[in-house]
């Protein structure tokens, strides 16, 4: 034994030390616990797919997982196998897998990490097998030797890929991590390697991870006839800004490259948070002993990398794999660089087939590979060529000018560098603007039929009461506000720029067009589009500015054919009196930054509260037979524990009874059940009564103002029915219809402080 | 003064006044039983109804709508309606839905009966 059992940081396959592995800590922990939990005896075997955005990087994550599991010395035997990047065959890849599997297995069983890096033939491995494993390993190698000389290559591939299934399940369980990022390289093999890999992993009884480009992995899983519901999924995107900054700083330290805060932030944006580009770039800087302490130094290296460094080699190899013939490659570059005569970046399959002079199957294969790499988006007929990172676009342009236009290399280098330098401050400015901008889209995305104080959308009403007030005071006042507005349920929110070029000069983040349904029911009448914009003004926005924005947004709505709209403007300091009048005359909302922040906070708090289930009780009971009394009794017990007064308890019970009656009467419930949920907090009791079923079309459409009539106003007996909601609203402090796909869900809250 | 418990609704008559007792939970089922009993009493010649809520803990909106139906029927027949011994929470509900505008409330059955003995029948009171 040559290791310290307490040392979980052994670096075996990892290329960086554990403490230098940045940005994927949560994913690493998830993979380790996935391996350990799935390997528990009797637990259902779990497969995990890692769906990767191109260049997001997964190999180091898997290697770190291997190291972590190896160091733990538990019953999980980690196996990491990456498909070789160089062009090869399915058979050679499968044999390589068998060899790697045995090497790493024996290495683990002997607890000799250095074996993992050895190059040993299968017969040598048999000699190294520990006594407990020697029998099955010998049998495996003998069987392989027989299979190797058979006629059936596909059978051989299957034999190799299923080798982990031959491990006797007594003591240990292999955990195979299959890094299939290079899978696309094998797509021209006569054996469908992707499908064989998926089938081999799924058919075995061992937990596994299959990682690869998201489009390819999903496609392979589907083609293998695999039920994706039985698989866990992890999505890996580029690093976020914070993690990318940390990775750049750590890698620069390791490579002894000097950077500044400014150049670090530039690289985060320019390298688009890709771990591959970041490490490649800083390795190049380290090798050349460059200091990246100015934009100029960064862009000089950027162009070097683009024209002849690692970045160039990466994209060149992608292109060479896509189109091995130089002539085809040149045509592909031309097709990807040239816009159509109409200036559009969308072309059609037929035009590609004509230009490439290839048969349909070859064009299809080429487009499929481009699509997998997310360099284009292709639906079989239409081809959108706007895909790929900025680096890819820069690479493509330079290749186009060099290869197709045959421009002098020096000129292309100078131009690319000039463009990069001009773009650098813009990239950073865009980033800072985005960081400082209001998260309009995020907030609109949270609109989900909540009730909020109406004054949060009306600066003229809000300002006299709350402008400049301490947050707690404003919150208390707004909590007691009974003039509420129900937000719509937003189902799609996009930058206003996507809807109208007139909004482009203000930046992508300045406006949002949000499609929604109001009233919680999906009908034509309830469809509404919110047009939201941030108005730049250091002081209260004046009428002229408001008028300009109203015209802009109205114009966008008209051009896009949006009929039922709600305009909402947000200005940091709110709006001047005449601007408020203008907003009101257009039925538009206007809020200050303070209102916006309060609204954001309230909607986030609502989400947090809903996700907290520690103090939650649930009761399910059949409709009818006075069962609402059971619900009332249950809520009474809960309310007593919270020390509500007898009067308040009676009010809560009555409200619960009414809600149960509503649920029974208003839905064509298939299961005839009422679902009651109590959420207990220090100062309140929230009760949700819900049922399944289809609602009458207008149910809840006017829950604010409906049922205002009281007894005796020429009502028939039928008219008098349906007072339940009015009663509930009067008896409880907050009442809210929650949007559900079918049936009703009514959430009622009673505050302790107001009752006692 | 005979007492009836048919259809699970207790009632009895004091002269031309019928006293009907509501159950602990006034909902659709028990409300319809009271309605039926009240109609029967009115058909039998009762000139006033006392509905006693001394056992009633909870009333739901359907129960309230049925009570309004009873008030309608009584008004059309020229009979008076008094609710007795209504707990404060139920009074609050009646007020919310405007019921108290159409009915007299009494602290208990005795007070209801004594109120009725001093009040003229409704048809006379409104000049018919």
pLDDT in tens, A372-383: 988 888 887 888
Query: What pLDDT shows up at residue A721?
Result: 53
H runs (alpha helix) in A170-260: 193-203, 214-223, 241-254
Answer whether A626 sits within 8 Å of B27, measured CB to CB: yes
Q: Check CB contact of B8 with chain A, cutoff 8 Å.
A: no
Instruction: State which residue of chain A sits closest to B73, comparing Cα positions.
Output: A717
- Using CA atoms of A112, A113, A117, A118 in order, give the dihedral in degrees to the nearest 10: 0
Q: B122 Cβ partners below 8 Å, 6+ apart?
A: B75, B78, B79, B80
Disruptive mutation site among B24, B25, B32, B60 for chain A (greatest number of A CBs within 10 Å):
B60
Per the domain annotation, does A201 fall within a domain? Answer: yes
The CATH number of the domain holding residue A642 is 3.30.565.10
Is residue A139 scored above 90 in pLDDT? yes
d(CA B69, CA B76): 11
CA distance B12 to chain A (A): 27
Report whether A568 contacts A589 (CB < 8 A).
Answer: yes
Per the domain annotation, does A249 fall within a domain? Answer: no
d(CA A534, CA A354): 48
Is residue A748 scored above 50 in pLDDT? yes
Do A597 and A467 share a structural domain? Answer: yes
Do A650 and A581 share a structural domain? Answer: no
Disruptive mutation site among B89, B90, B101 for chain A (greatest number of A CBs within 10 Å):
B89
Which residues in chain A have their CB less than 8 angstroms from residue B35's CB? none
Which residues in chain A have their CB less than 8 angstroms from residue B97's CB? 710-711, 723, 726-727
pLDDT, tens only, A555-605: 999 999 998 999 999 998 899 999 999 999 999 999 998 899 899 888 876
Q: Which of A456-465, A560-569, A711-720 has the lowest mean pLDDT?
A: A711-720
Q: Check CB contact of A730 with chain B, cutoff 8 Å.
A: yes
> What is the C-alpha R_g of chain B?
13
Per the domain annotation, does A12 fall within a domain? Answer: no
Do A459 and A335 share a structural domain? Answer: no
Answer whether B65 sits within 8 Å of A650, measured CB to CB: no
d(CA B19, CA A264): 88
Do A456 and A376 share a structural domain? Answer: no
Answer whether B102 sits within 8 Å of A650, measured CB to CB: no
Per the domain annotation, does A411 fall within a domain? Answer: yes
Tokens encoding A2: 């040559």
Q: Check CB contact of B103 with chain A, cutoff 8 Å.
A: no
Disruptive mutation site among A648, A659, A720, A729 for chain B (greatest number of B CBs within 10 Å):
A720
Tokens encoding A261: 């805060």
Instruction: State which residue of chain A sits closest to B26, comparing Cα positions.
Output: A626
Residue A534 bridge partners (DSSP): A570
| pLDDT greater at residue B9 or residue A546 | A546
Answer whether A710 sits within 8 Å of B97, measured CB to CB: yes
Which ipTM value was assigned to this complex? 0.78
CA distance A655 to chain B (A): 9
Is residue A698 scored above 80 in pLDDT? no
Tokens encoding A367: 């487009």
Do A696 and A591 share a structural domain? Answer: no
Number of domains in chain A: 4
pLDDT, tens only, A732-745: 888 877 656 666 78
How many secondary structure helices (H) and strands (E) does chain B include? 5, 8
Domain end call among A566, A584, A607: A607
- Residue A744 DSSP SS3: strand
Do A593 and A621 share a structural domain? Answer: no
Share of chain A above pLDDT 70, in %: 88
- Orientation angle between helical segments A593-611 and A471-480, nearest 10 degrees: 70
What is the count of residue pairs from A and B with beta carbons less than 8 Å apart?
65
CA distance A711 to chain B (A): 5
Q: A279 Cβ partners below 8 Å, 6+ apart?
A: A247, A251
User: Which residue is associated with the tokens 């162009």?
Assistant: A303
Tokens encoding A470: 């301490």
Q: Check CB contact of B64 with chain A, cutoff 8 Å.
A: yes
User: Which residue is associated with the tokens 């305009």?
Assistant: A567
d(CA B45, CA A130): 104
- Residue B97 DSSP SS3: coil
Residue A684 bridge partners (DSSP): A681, A751
Residue A747: DSSP 8-state: E
Which residues in chain B have their CB less than 8 angstroms from residue A721's CB? 61-62, 65
When pLDDT is averaged across residues A632-639 and rounded to a whole number, the result is 87
CA A193 → CA A149, A178, A364, A605, A631, distances in Å? 20, 12, 19, 49, 58
| pLDDT greater at residue A611 or residue B12 | B12
Q: Check CB contact of A708 with chain B, cutoff 8 Å.
A: no
Tokens encoding A670: 């298939």
Is residue A722 scored above 70 in pLDDT? no
Q: Check CB contact of A626 with chain B, cutoff 8 Å.
A: yes
Tokens encoding A394: 């820069």
Q: Check CB contact of A720 with chain B, cutoff 8 Å.
A: yes
pTM score, two decimals? 0.60
User: Which residue is associated with the tokens 């005071």?
Assistant: A473
Which residues in chain A have their CB less than 8 angstroms from residue B102's CB? 711-712
Q: Check CB contact of A711 with chain B, cutoff 8 Å.
A: yes
Give me the count of residues in chain A: 756
Per the domain annotation, does A263 fall within a domain? Answer: no
Q: Place A343 in a pLDDT band, splitting at 50, 70 and 90.
A: low
Cβ-nearest to A711 among B58, B89, B99: B99
Which residues in chain A have their CB less than 8 angstroms from residue B74's CB? none
CA distance B46 to chain A (A): 23
Domain end call among A236, A258, A274: A236
Give me the count of residues in chain B: 128
Answer whether B25 sits within 8 Å of A724, measured CB to CB: no
Which residues in chain B have their CB less than 8 angstroms from residue A657's CB? 58, 60
Report whether A266 contacts A298 (CB < 8 A).
Answer: yes
Do A309 and A164 share a structural domain? Answer: no
Do A545 and A622 share a structural domain? Answer: no
Query: What pLDDT shows up at residue A708?
Result: 44
Q: Which of A109-123, A409-423, A659-673, A725-739 has the lowest mean pLDDT?
A: A659-673
pLDDT, tens only, A169-214: 777 889 999 998 888 777 767 788 888 999 998 887 788 999 999 9
Query: What pLDDT shows up at residue A609?
Result: 54
Chain B 38-57, residues with CB within 8 Å of chain A CB atoms: none
When pLDDT is averaged across residues A224-241 and rounded to a whole number, the result is 85
Do A92 and A202 share a structural domain? Answer: yes
Cβ-nearest to A723 among B61, B69, B102: B61
Residue A43: DSSP 8-state: S
B16 backbone dihedrals φ, ψ, rounded to 5°: -95, 15
How many secondary structure helices (H) and strands (E) does chain A include? 29, 20
Domain end call among A582, A607, A632: A607
**Structural domain containing residue A188:** 18-236
Query: What pLDDT shows up at residue A42?
Result: 60
Is residue B119 scored above 80 in pLDDT? no
d(CA A353, CA A472): 66
pLDDT, tens only, B54-110: 989 888 888 888 898 899 888 888 888 899 999 888 888 888 888 888 888 888 888
Do A381 and A485 share a structural domain? Answer: no
Q: Check CB contact of A724 with chain B, cutoff 8 Å.
A: yes
Do A631 and A510 share a structural domain? Answer: no
CA B31 → CA A32, A538, A672, B12, B70, distances in Å? 63, 64, 23, 17, 10
Instruction: State which residue of chain B sits closest to A730, comparing Cα positions.
Output: B96
Is residue A4 scored above 60 in pLDDT? no
Q: Check CB contact of B95 with chain A, cutoff 8 Å.
A: no
CA-wise closest residue to A532 among A444, A465, A606, A416: A444
CA A539 → CA A253, A293, A330, A573, A592, distances in Å? 45, 38, 56, 6, 11
Do A222 and A112 share a structural domain? Answer: yes
Is residue A702 scored above 50 in pLDDT? no
Q: Place A695 in a pLDDT band, splitting at 50, 70 and 90.
A: low
Q: Check CB contact of A653 with chain B, cutoff 8 Å.
A: yes
Which residues in chain B have their CB less than 8 angstroms from residue A727's CB? 61, 93, 96-97
CATH superfamily placement of domain B3-123 = STAS domain (3.30.750.24)
Sign of CA dihedral A546, A548, A550, A552: negative
d(CA A195, CA A199): 6
CA-wise closest residue to A658 among B37, B69, B97, B36: B97
Instruction: State which residue of chain B sits closest to A660, comparing Cα positions.
Output: B60
């Amino acid at each position: 034994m040559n290791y310290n059992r307490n040392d979980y940081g052994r670096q075996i396959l990892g290329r960086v030390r554990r403490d230098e592995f940045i940005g994927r800590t949560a994913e690493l922990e998830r993979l380790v616990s996935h391996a350990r939990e799935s390997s528990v005896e009797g637990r259902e075997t779990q497969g995990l797919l890692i769906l990767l955005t191109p260049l997001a990087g997964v190999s180091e994550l898997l290697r770190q997982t291997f190291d972590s599991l190896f160091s733990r010395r538990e019953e999980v035997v980690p196996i990491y196998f990456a498909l070789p990047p160089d062009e090869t065959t399915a058979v050679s890849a499968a044999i390589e897998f068998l060899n790697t599997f045995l090497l790493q297995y024996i290495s683990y069983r002997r607890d000799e990490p250095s074996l993992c890096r050895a190059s040993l033939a299968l017969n040598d491995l048999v000699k190294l097998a520990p006594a407990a494993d020697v029998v099955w390993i010998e049998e495996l190698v003998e069987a392989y030797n027989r299979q190797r000389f058979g006629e059936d290559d596909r059978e051989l591939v299957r034999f190799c890929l299923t080798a982990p299934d031959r491990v006797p399940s007594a003591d240990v369980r292999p955990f195979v991590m299959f890094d299939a990022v290079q899978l696309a390289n094998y797509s021209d093999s006569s054996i469908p390697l992707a499908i064989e890999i998926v089938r081999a992993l799924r058919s075995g009884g061992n937990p596994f991870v299959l990682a690869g480009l998201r489009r390819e992995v999903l496609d392979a899983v589907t083609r293998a006839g695999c039920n994706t519901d039985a698989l866990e999924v992890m999505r890996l995107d580029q690093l976020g800004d914070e993690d990318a900054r940390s990775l750049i700083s750590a890698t620069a330290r390791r490579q002894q490259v000097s950077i500044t805060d400014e150049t670090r932030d530039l690289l985060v944006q320019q390298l688009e948070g890709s771990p591959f580009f970041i490490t490649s770039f800083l390795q190049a800087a380290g090798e050349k002993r460059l200091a990246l302490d100015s934009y100029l130094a960064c862009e000089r290296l950027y162009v070097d990398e683009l024209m002849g460094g690692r970045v160039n080699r990466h994209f060149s190899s992608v292109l060479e794999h896509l189109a091995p013939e130089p002539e085809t490659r040149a045509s592909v570059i031309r097709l990807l660089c040239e816009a159509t005569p109409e200036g559009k970046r969308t072309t059609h399959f037929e035009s590609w087939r004509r230009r490439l002079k290839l048969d349909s199957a070859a064009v299809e294969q080429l487009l499929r590979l481009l699509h997998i790499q997310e360099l284009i988006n292709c639906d079989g007929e239409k081809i959108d060529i706007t895909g790929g990172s900025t680096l890819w676009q820069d690479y493509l342009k330079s290749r186009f000018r060099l290869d197709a236009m045959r421009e002098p290399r020096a000129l292309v280098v100078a131009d690319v560098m000039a463009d990069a330098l001009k773009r650098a401050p813009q990239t950073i400015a865009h980033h800072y603007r985005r960081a400082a901008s209001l998260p309009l889209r995020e907030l609109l995305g949270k609109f989900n039929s909540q009730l909020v104080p109406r004054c949060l959308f009306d600066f003229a009403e809000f300002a006299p009461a709350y402008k400049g007030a301490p947050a707690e005071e404003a919150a208390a006042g707004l909590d007691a506000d009974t003039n509420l507005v129900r937000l719509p349920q937003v189902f799609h929110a996009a930058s206003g720029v996507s809807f109208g070029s007139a909004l482009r000069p203000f930046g992508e983040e300045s406006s949002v067009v949000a499609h929604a349904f109001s009233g919680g029911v999906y009908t034509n009448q309830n469809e509404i589009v919110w047009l939201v914009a941030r108005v730049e003004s250091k002081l209260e926005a004046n009428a002229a500015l408001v008028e300009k924005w109203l015209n802009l947004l109205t114009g966008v709505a008209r051009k896009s054919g949006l009929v039922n709209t709600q305009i909402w403007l947000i200005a940091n300091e709110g709006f001047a009196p005449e601007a408020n009048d203008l907003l009101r005359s257009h039925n538009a909302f206007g809020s200050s930054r303070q209102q916006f922040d309060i609204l954001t906070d309230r909607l986030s708090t609502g989400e947090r509260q809903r996700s907290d289930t520690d103090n939650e009780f649930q009761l399910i009971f059949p409709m009818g037979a006075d069962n609402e009394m059971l619900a009332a009794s249950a809520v009474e017990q809960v309310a007593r524990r919270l020390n509500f007064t007898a009067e308040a308890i009676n009010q809560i019970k009555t409200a619960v009874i009414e809600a149960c009656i509503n649920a029974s009467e208003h839905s064509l419930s298939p299961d005839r059940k009422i679902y009651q949920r109590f959420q207990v907090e220090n100062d309140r009791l929230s009760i949700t009564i819900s049922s399944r079923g289809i609602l009458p079309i207008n149910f809840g459409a006017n829950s604010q103002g409906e049922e205002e009539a009281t007894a005796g106003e020429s009502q028939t007996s039928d008219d008098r029915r349906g007072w339940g909601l009015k009663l509930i609203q009067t008896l409880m402090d907050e009442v809210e219809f929650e949007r559900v796909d079918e049936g009703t869900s009514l959430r009622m809250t009673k505050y302790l402080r107001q009752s006692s | 003064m005979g007492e009836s418990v048919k259809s699970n609704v207790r009632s009895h008559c004091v002269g031309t006044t019928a006293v009907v007792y509501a159950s602990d939970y006034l909902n659709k089922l028990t409300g319809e039983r009271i309605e039926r009993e009240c109609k029967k009493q009115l058909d039998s010649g009762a000139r006033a109804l006392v509905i006693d809520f001394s056992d009633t803990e909870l009333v739901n909106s359907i129960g309230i709508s049925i009570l309004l139906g009873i008030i309608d029927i009584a008004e059309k027949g020229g009979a008076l309606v008094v609710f007795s011994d209504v707990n404060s929470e139920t009074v609050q509900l009646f007020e919310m839905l405007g019921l108290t505008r159409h009915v007299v409330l009494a602290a208990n059955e005795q007070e209801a009966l004594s109120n009725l003995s001093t009040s003229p029948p409704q048809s006379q009171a409104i000049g018919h």
